[in-house]
Amino acid sequence: METNAVAELLHPYMEQAGLTLKDVHEAIVSDILPSDTAKPSQHKMYDLLDGKGLEKPIAEAIIGVCSRPMGDAGLDKARREEVGALFS
């Protein structure tokens, strides 16, 4: 698994959406996370986006947040596939 590579992909997604880490953290709500995945603290998000302990459900939640509200379904799918391949 290439968590640093995943983190490197997520930063530009956030930038393109015009979102800060705080914005993303606030937008991650429990209904977009699997039931067995807890929402990380904002402090923990900094570590995750540095590639430290980043897991696929959190990465996918970040992608989802960056795609809202006027998201491009095709771009969202491509991002999920690109990130998913790095977790394989």
pLDDT in tens, 5-27: 999 999 999 999 899 999 999 99
Q: Record the pTM.
A: 0.90
Angle 36-3-58 from CA coordinates, rounded to 5°:
30
pLDDT reading at 3 higher than 80: no
Nearest-angstrom CA–CA distance, 67 and 63? 6
DSSP string across 66-84: HH-SS--HHHHHHHHHHHH
Residue extents of the structural domains in the chain: 3-87
Q: pLDDT confidence of 43, banded at 50, 70, 90?
A: very high
